[in-house]
Amino acid sequence: MVVPCTVVTQAAMVDQYSAAAGNLGGGVIEGFLGGGHGDVPNHYRVASPSASDARIITVHGRYDLVVPAGRSGLLAGTEGIFDDAGTHFDVLDPQHDLWRRTLDALGLS
């Protein structure tokens, strides 16, 4: 089993439990993980950075209309990288400030 020491989430729902409970994405969490938390609890544990002891860096654009930016800031101790002008896919753009700031947080710039 791989145990990560750092997790970088990019425009992600970092807490699969609350995302499923809130029906975010119209059941996309349950579909992705193969059922509800009661059905496949290990899937939720593995897929939820909130259940990890790893360093978590959340990267999100405040204008993300796919995953609300507030879903990234739910975890105590999370290092947040937010951009006031960023959208859902800006986290993947190597020319965008969010990408450069992620590299900085990882010590890779």
The fold of 6-105 is Rossmann fold (3.40.50)
Output the pLDDT for position 74.
Answer: 56
Question: C-alpha 106: how far from its chain's center?
Answer: 16
Are 105 and 81 within 8 A, CB to CB? yes
Output the pLDDT for position 35.
Answer: 96
Per-domain residue ranges for the chain?
Answer: 6-105
Mode of pairing for the β-strands spanning 79-83 and 6-10? unpaired
The 10s digit of each residue's pLDDT in 50-64 is 677 888 888 999 899
Cβ burial of 57 (10 Å; 0-12, 13-18, 19+) is: buried
Count CA within 13 A, CB hemisphere, residue 22. 11
Output the pLDDT for position 73.
Answer: 65
- Residue numbers of the chain with a pLDDT score lower than 50: none
Supply the pTM of this predicted model. Answer: 0.75
Output the pLDDT for position 75.
Answer: 60
